[in-house]
Structure 1
Amino acid sequence: MTIYSTKKIVAVGGGHGLGRMLAALKEFGSNATGIVATTDNGGSTGRIRHCQGGIAWGDTRNCINQLITDPSISSMMFEYRFKGAGELDGHNLGNLMLTALDNLSVRPLDATNLIRNMLKVDVNIIPMSEHPSDLKALSTDGRWVTGETSVDEMPEKLLRLDLEPEVPATHEGVMAIEQADAIILGPGSFLTSIMPPLLLHEVGRAIANNIKAKLIFVENLSPEFGPAGQMSLQEKLEWCERACRGRKVDVVLGETPHPELSEWNCVTLPLASPNRDWRHDRTKLQQAVEHLLGQ
């Protein structure tokens, strides 16, 4: 019996950060689950949402892309991005495939699983919610802004982050959290990748109630911009803990020591990719998670 067959891990986030983490957890196969943010409204995803409605598929597609181990015609199709003039320019075929399944009234989780099976991806990938919702932020000057891209562009710090409208979490994602031995937050854009799933009441409650799981926060390796860039690490941890009903983060994993964070258990390990120091190395992340699970 190995750690891969006996431990269940849930990673929460979105975009490239969650994809990187899930790639590091690939050895856990179906014992690893990614709960993916679905609030993006930029790029190809945003254009599709504007025309068709539905949840944002871009982060889910990104996570699947980073887990493909056997390149094939199917994976090349899924990753294909149109170029040239006209309506299709910039659209990703994977986003369009997932949107088409959604329009055929296929449940979003079933659509994700269909693509996963087609591309031989074992790690579970679950949209945070199967209902469309957008991020809404309250700035320090009392202004509400709606939409992920608008939130990212705000020049001032935020007082509050909400989902508009409030939507239910995907049931299978909540179940995965309840059964997890470790729950990982990050790396990734704090306000637009890590926080959206935590804003779902069922997700925050499930993390709070699973006291046997180790709750791990993974720091980014490069600074963020926008309002997240104005937040200290302590503020980010406090926001996470508030969303999780006061549940303490058990481990803060990063490359930089934080003697000022005496309330938290900060673990410092090498995590950066050797050729791109702003990006996490999959093998180093995998070894770090295994180290924390073995403690």
Structure 2
Amino acid sequence: MKIYKNKKVVAIGGGHGLGRVLAALNKFGNNATGIVTTTDNGGSTGRIRFCQGGIAWGDTRNCINQLITEPSVESMMFEYRFKGTGELGGHNLGNLMLASLDNLSVRPLEAIQLIRSMLRVNVNIIPMSEHPSDLKALSVDGSWVHGETSVDEMETDLLRLDLEPEVPPTSEGITAIENADCIILGPGSFLTSIMPPLLLSEVGHAILKNTHAKLIYIENLSPEYGPAGRMTLREKLEWCERACRGRKIDIVLGEVPHPELEDEWHCVTVDLASPNRAWRHDRDKLSKAIVGQLK
């Protein structure tokens, strides 16, 4: 199809959600770009950051894993997770490989490109920033909560989300947004996957300035927990638009109708669930739904 050669698509987010979208965009090859959240401080990624510093690699590794189409010794290495209770226990070799390249003074983006080349991944993957930063949230009780895992576990609602410290975006990511025909937000953890890249002011400005691109928000198929789970879809859309400097979301893709939102947003109801895992987006259905909005 000509659309795969003529249209450029950028997806913004992190973790399993962004990986699923990028897998659905695989036919676009290097006309598809993922801008990946780099603020995770939990699990193997958090342990590496605590010991070595640097950006969080876990979401990037997850995206690459979902884009591997040809199983190989290299892909088995990249996906391998150490077992046991020792210092290596729980660490993912892919995270260690990316962190090692970073420590060798290779640009994080160049480290990703080396791994993509090794694993024959065509879709572009760009970290939201090449500088380490963490999430912090202002609670309704006036206190600040620091770190992505702590934000996810907040028992109170939050008023504001910020990055600490403020960091510049990766310039290649801004260029991709400026040249995109379609920009996708979600699915994924709203506060800790979708929002962090949008907290970079240059990202929001780039989305605002690209008036010809369709801005699409993709809903989750299963409910979230923590403070994001207490937010309505309206609140999430308003948060995104505020971060994008008032740019309206053109299309909301989801499985549930939202008649209460129809006056403000164009909501498209479509079957997106995997046949054997109702909480996971089916790659083919997701691809068809996205391509349908680009025609």
**Structure-2-length-normalised TM-score:** 0.99
Number of matched pairs: 294
Q: Where does residue 174 of structure 2 map in the other structure?
A: 174
Q: Where does residue 96 of structure 2 map in the other structure?
A: 96
Deviations 1:174-213 (A, max 9, x none): 0000000000000000000000000001100000000000
Q: Where does residue 244 of structure 2 map in the other structure?
A: 244
Structure 2: gaps spanning 5 or more residues: none
Report whether the alignment pairs 1:287 with 2:288: yes
- The residue type equivalent to 1:142 in the other structure is G
Q: Where does residue 157 of structure 2 map in the other structure?
A: 157
Q: Distance in 2 between matches of 1:268 and 1:278?
A: 16
- The residue type equivalent to 2:90 in the other structure is G
Q: Distance in 1 between matches of 2:9 and 2:238?
A: 22
Displacement of 1:157: 1.1
Q: Where does residue 125 of structure 1 map in the other structure?
A: 125
Report whether the alignment pairs 1:276 with 2:287: no
Deviations 1:99-151 (A, max 9, x none): 00000000000000000000000000000000000000001111101100000
Q: Where does residue 145 of structure 1 map in the other structure?
A: 145
Q: Where does residue 12 of structure 1 map in the other structure?
A: 12
Q: Distance in 2 between matches of 1:202 and 1:93?
A: 33
- The residue type equivalent to 1:278 in the other structure is W
Q: Distance in 1 between matches of 2:97 and 2:119?
A: 13
Q: Distance in 2 between matches of 1:285 and 1:213?
A: 19
Q: Where does residue 44 of structure 2 map in the other structure?
A: 44
**Structure-1-length-normalised TM-score:** 0.99
For 1:253-268, list aligned pairs within 5 A.
253-261=253-261, 262-268=263-269
Give the aligned CA root-mean-square deviation in angstroms: 0.5
Q: Distance in 1 between matches of 2:122 and 2:280?
A: 24
Q: Where does residue 201 of structure 2 map in the other structure?
A: 201
Q: Distance in 2 between matches of 1:139 and 1:85?
A: 36
- The residue type equivalent to 1:7 in the other structure is K
Partner SS for 2:98:
helix
Deviations 1:78-108 (A, max 9, x none): 0000001210000000000000000000000
Q: Distance in 1 between matches of 2:10 and 2:285?
A: 18
Q: Distance in 2 between matches of 1:4 and 1:275?
A: 28
Displacement of 1:15: 0.2
Displacement of 1:268: 0.5
Q: Distance in 1 between matches of 2:31 and 2:194?
A: 21
Q: Distance in 1 between matches of 2:28 and 2:252?
A: 22
Q: Distance in 2 between matches of 1:151 and 1:124?
A: 29
Displacement of 1:44: 0.1
Q: Where does residue 70 of structure 2 map in the other structure?
A: 70
- The residue type equivalent to 2:139 in the other structure is S
Structure 1: gaps spanning 5 or more residues: none
- The residue type equivalent to 2:265 in the other structure is W
Partner SS for 1:260:
helix
- The residue type equivalent to 1:284 in the other structure is K
Displacement of 1:156: 1.3
Q: Distance in 2 between matches of 1:246 and 1:264?
A: 13
- The residue type equivalent to 1:77 in the other structure is M
For 1:107-126, list aligned pairs within 5 A.
107-126=107-126
Displacement of 1:241: 0.2
Deviations 1:230-263 (A, max 9, x none): 0000000000000000000000000000000020
Q: Distance in 1 between matches of 2:142 and 2:249?
A: 29
Identity of aligned residues (%): 78
Q: Distance in 2 between matches of 1:263 and 1:85?
A: 52
- The residue type equivalent to 1:277 in the other structure is A
Partner SS for 2:84:
coil
The structure 1 segments of at least 4 consecutive aligned residues displaced by more than 3 Å after TM superposition are: none
